[in-house]
Each structure stands twice: as C-alpha cells, then as structure tokens.
Copies of this chain bind each other. A is one copy, B any other.
C-alpha cells in the first residue's frame, strides 16, 4: 500500500540521500521511501496492513537522524581529476558485465567475478599493494575475515553501526540441539531453525573493514621509531538491506587498505603523500573524479559516536568517481586520530598513544567505475589496463 507522511520540519537537502538509505533499516515491512521535492514529506510504500507500524518506526528513525544532523555545507574539494577518455560514461556497465558473464549475481549482495572483471580486480589490488610497498615501505599481511566480537565492542562499533553488523553464529556444543536441528532439516527444502537460542552470536563477527584486525594485532605494542605501515586486502562484510545492488553496494566486498600507525606527527606527515598516492593511481587508471573532505565522518547518524570521532580529531577524504548516472565513493583516506590507539593500547616509541590513518579502496566499486568510464571497447582503455581486461 502507498501513502504519504509529513515531517514537522523540511529535511535539509544534504540529509535526503542519507535518510533514504538509512530508512530501509526501520522496518522489514517497508518497501520504498522517497522524500518529496520540497523535503516536507515522503512517499511511502509498505506491506498491506503495516501502515501504522511503518509510520511509527520510520518516524522514530527520521527523528533520530534530524536530531543528530548538523549541516557541514558543501564538501571541500581536495583534488579533482578529469578523464582523458572523453567518450560518455556508460549508463549501465553492470548490465553489460552480466551479459558477458564477467559478473554473476549469486545471492543478495553476493556477486562473483570472472573474465575481464576479475582480472581487473586482481590488477587493481596488486597496483595498490605495489604503491604501499614501494612508496610507503608497507609490510604485506593477511588476516582472518572473522573478528573477535570484542574488537568491535572495544572500538565502539555496536554503538554506531549495529544495523550493518554480521555475526558469525554457530551452534553451541550440545548434542540434543544439534540433533534436533539436523532432524528438522533432514527432509526440509528450506532452512528450519527449531531453537534459535541454540545458536550463539557472541564470539565472532565478520569484519566490516579490513583494517580492523591490524589494530587488534598491535594490541599493547610499542611501535618502532617512525611507526609502522601495513597493507592488507580481503573480503569485508556489511549488511546493507535493500540498498544492496550490483557492484555498487555488496554485502560481501573486497578492500585493499594501507594502514599507518605511529605518532601524530608520523601519520599527519604522511597526509600529502597519501593524497598524492590516491591521485596518481587515478591518473594511471584514467579515472575521473574528485577527492573531497567528506561531510559524513564515519559515524554519521549517531550523536555520541560523532562526538567521540570529532574529539579524536578524525577526518575523512573520499574518492568520488563517476559510475553511471551518479558518483560513488570508491576509496577514502581516513584519519582516525587516537581512536584505535586508545582502544588497543598501542603506543609510539616515545610512549604516547598511537595515531592511525588508513587509505582504503573498494575494489568492486573501482571495477564498476572503470567499466563505466571506459566502456567495453579495448582502445578506450588506458594502456596499462588494456591487456589486463581484454587479454
């Protein structure tokens, strides 16, 4: 059923997109939600009979977001890059990738990569790894995709992003509970969970970013002079409800990060080199876009977390690149201040709490942006990528 709700005050234009994305978590019975042009209401579609419940839950979510909102104005532009390739952006590169079987949707937010798309993702990952090793002397490491739940507790993640967390739940050791689950599923053609309480959620989560295990690994460490730089890559997981679509927003996605851990001077001293590294990669890949000081510093909708974030002098630059009709964030530089140093007791050589920053790339989003910007004709692609994608 369709209906309209009104807001007491108009939604600030800066908040509209964020609100439309977040409201999906308000109720499983909500089907769509679009803020009206004047910002004073929204067109809502929900399951039959759920109007009262949906109105109530959406109202609470909108209220919470309005209370924590603070306009930051136009985001400051740090750098801008125009493509050499002057042909128009592909409006639906994902559809063409699907047609070639270079991507296949296997489930909600679950996409497999093959052919030119997978070859490109591998190449991009290696290219960033190479920059990390040669320009930042980073150590290359690999971590589990599972993360002790406690790691997220300690950095305040459950105060901020509970809606997107994925718990790795499993049966508690118990013959009777496991046997009754087995029996219930012996002949069933859908999953049956007769006793949800037999499952535990407490010991592990799926990491929502690949840098998090690095801070856990450095727990209690005293860093060498100059700090350390680590690069790592792999799958990260965020449940994004109805917002999951194509390669733009996956439940299970790939990231390469470069993580800087050291004194405030060490890490802030690298700031210019981090910006240069990101823009020089955009140049190598002929990727058009902007690096902007993000108006949405990590913990956007949560007042307490935002304050914490600001106290720790965090900042975020986002790499916004064109991919079809809109720009997407395919990379970022994140200054976390002493947030992680504090949470994990990491100290500099001088005994101060360590400062951290990271440069991260969303590899599937980069793949999508590059196919959007260079299409499917070999000659449009920059030389360094041509062979990789088309063989």
Contacts and interface: CB of A to CB of B under 8 A. Distances in A.
Contacts of A147: 106-107, 110
Interface string A108-147: 1111111100110100000000000000000111111111
Contact of A251 (B175, B176, B191, B204): B204
Contact of A141 (B112, B139, B158): B112
A144 B57 contact: no
Given A114-B139, A235-B234, A173 B25 contact: yes
Contact of A144 (B107, B189, B196): B107
A186 interface: yes
Contact of A106 (B60, B112, B114, B216): B216
Given A186-B159, A204-B107, A173 B142 contact: no
B60 A179 contact: yes
Contact of A182 (B104, B149, B162, B176): B162
Interface string A325-369: 000000000000000000000000000000000000000000000
Contacts of A285: none
Contacts of A61: 175
Contacts of A145: 145, 235, 237, 252
A162 B188 CA distance: 14
A216 to B, nearest CB: 6
Copies in the complex: 2
Interface stretch (A79-87, A163-171, A261-269, A379-387): A163-171
Contacts of A25: 171, 173-175, 178
Contact of A174 (B28, B141, B186, B202): B28
Given A25-B175, A153-B188, A175-B27, A251 B146 contact: yes
B144 A112 contact: yes
A173 B244 CA distance: 14
Contacts of A202: 191, 193
Interface of A: 24-28, 30, 57-58, 60-61, 64, 104, 106-115, 118-119, 121, 139-151, 153-154, 158-159, 162-176, 178-179, 181-182, 185-186, 188-191, 193, 196-197, 199, 201-204, 206, 213, 216-217, 234-235, 237, 239, 241, 250-252, 254, 302, 304
* Closest 4 pairs between A and B when the two form their complex, measured CB to CB: A107-B148, A158-B185, A144-B252, A110-B144
